[in-house]
Amino acid sequence: MSKKRAVKRAAERRQEKEDEGRVIVTTSRGIRGECMAIGHAVAQLQESIRDDTDWPEAPTYTVKYAGGEEKNVAHDEKSIEDPKTTDEERAAWAEYLEALGAAETEFNDRFAKAQMRLFASDGFVPLNAPPEDEWIKKQEWIGYVVPEDPNERRLHYFLSEIIGNVDDDMMAIYMGIASATGADEGRLSTLEASFRSEMGESEGQDGGAGEGDTSGEPEAGLVEQSSAPVGEGAGEPGPDA
């Protein structure tokens, strides 16, 4: 059985719907919890970080229309290949792509960390977790430094006690949150395909996830989202002579 198929089947086994419609997931650490309907909160978080990211502006070229009207249009992947595109424009495009890649990396890193915090705080509510003082005493005995801040402590617990096998558990929680939010079968299929594509054939990771660890995080959001800006010249005519 392939890694992707094994992860999918594990996620299916761990997700159940109770009579009242709640979506319950059991992680590989044996923690049973309810997945909450926070898909739209995830979308708002993503949009907030997207708006706060310093996206570069694509270089432009001038389009001349019949009647003498001129308009500056942003280059895109098609226009930059036009034979009339100048060397200076091509160089500017190369710089733009480099800056865009850096901005996308920054955005993805910030969103992955913020989304993990959102899942830990509002997305997965443990139903059979031990009392806080019990797991804290155990972890301090092991040698963990348990955060004092309540929010950081909640995240620490999520990563060290709830998440075990990252691929299996994160897929189950992602799908559970999407289902609780009301995603239809088509959207769930898209989310699953995106998750599996991002995961590839990498080995599952046991022993807890790191906050910045994006393995097992799907490219598609829990609700429909626009993609990052990549130039706004698509559909415009190529540069005129």
Residue 15 belongs to some domain of the structure = yes
Q: Which of the residue ranges 65-69, 145-149, 165-169, 223-227 would you say has the lowest mean pLDDT?
A: 223-227
Answer yes or no: is pLDDT of 240 > 90. no
Domain count, the chain: 1
pLDDT tens, position by position, 60-78: 999 888 878 899 999 999 9
Q: Choose the most confident range, by mean pLDDT, from 17-21, 135-139, 178-182, 210-214.
A: 135-139
Closest CA to 158 of 181, 135, 134, 191: 135
Distances (CA, A) of 211 to 31, 55, 126, 207, 239: 19, 24, 19, 13, 46
Residue 213 belongs to some domain of the structure = no
Residue 169 belongs to some domain of the structure = yes
pLDDT exceeding 70 applies to what percent of the chain?
A: 72
Residue 136 belongs to some domain of the structure = yes
Q: Which of the residue ranges 3-17, 81-95, 97-111, 119-133 would you say has the lowest mean pLDDT?
A: 3-17
The range of the structural domain enclosing residue 148 comes to 3-51+104-199
Residue 173 belongs to some domain of the structure = yes
CA distance 120 to 151: 9
Residue 85 belongs to some domain of the structure = no
> What does the angle CA 207 – CA 209 – CA 213 come to, to the nearest 5 degrees?
145
Answer yes or no: is pLDDT of 204 > 50. no
Between 197 and 193, whose confidence is greater? 193
The residue length of the chain stands at 241
Residue 180 belongs to some domain of the structure = yes
Residue 121 belongs to some domain of the structure = yes
Q: In the prediction, which pLDDT does 66 show?
A: 83
pTM over 0.85: no
The pLDDT of 5-15, averaged and rounded, is: 51
